[in-house]
Structure 1
Amino acid sequence: MKKFILLSVTAISLLSALSISVNASETFETKVESNNTAIGGWSEDEGTFSNILETRAAKATVKHSGKAEYKNAGPNQEKRSHGWTTWSGVYHYTTAQMQSLTGKVLSTSGRKWGTSGTEAISPYVWVGEIPGSAPAKTFYGK
């Protein structure tokens, strides 16, 4: 019985650690998409990510990219998020957001729905001269 309990606790610990390390971006994905329908996206500080439940067929047919765009310079610098998704024949959305370092949404494009290709652009937010103070993030889903 002791061996069984020890084995169970060890297995649960390993599975918990594995699920966290496999896709750490799911944490902010869940914060942003309240109904957990986001399949993947792009983050300025973490790069491209996808939900671990996404199928290989979906990965092969969907293309998603995002970038941060700037205007002005120095203390008046502003920044926005810009995302694109191409998913031929699939009704889907793209969302572009600017977030604080704590994950609070500072500006959002909202979900931009369409078939085949979608584009989303968040409103600009003031970031001043502090690099990385507001990461740009984009998401897609269906």
Structure 2
Amino acid sequence: MKIFYHTSATSIGGRSGHTQLDDGTLGFDLVSFQEKDKKGVNPEQLFAMGYAACFDSALSLVATQMKLPVQSSKTSVGVGLGQKSDGAFSLDLDITIEVSGLSQEQAQVLIERAHQVCPYSNAVRGNVDVRLHVKVV
């Protein structure tokens, strides 16, 4: 595989610590989803933000390739954290796009193709339950 981009981040203290990009440009104090009284974010929230941005970019790329007249799009990713029957932890995902300028059928094909292109989707495929939802506005 030809690598187009590489970045790295470091976390200290796990879910109750701090994570930041190794170049120092962005960092977050982390809190567990159970710690409602502390300020910070949890890894699932960061994953949801990254996945939503990546998927929306894949959607735009695929729409251009398919020559679809998308007027606007918005991608939301819901991330659930759960425990499987074997005791391992896993993610559960819902990807919802809102798109204008397309028919419902075109939007459905678009989200399915974007799901094949998006690097996050490719990373979780076969490991994580992912549900795709489309709203034409």
Give the shorter-chain TM-score range: 0.3 to 0.5
TM-score, structure 2 length as denominator? Answer: 0.33
- Greater gyration radius: 1
Larger RCO: Structure 1 or Structure 2 (Cα < 8 Å, ≥ 6 residues apart)?
Answer: 1
Flag the structure with higher helix content. Answer: 2
TM-score, structure 1 normalization? 0.32
Identify the structure with the greater strand proportion: 1
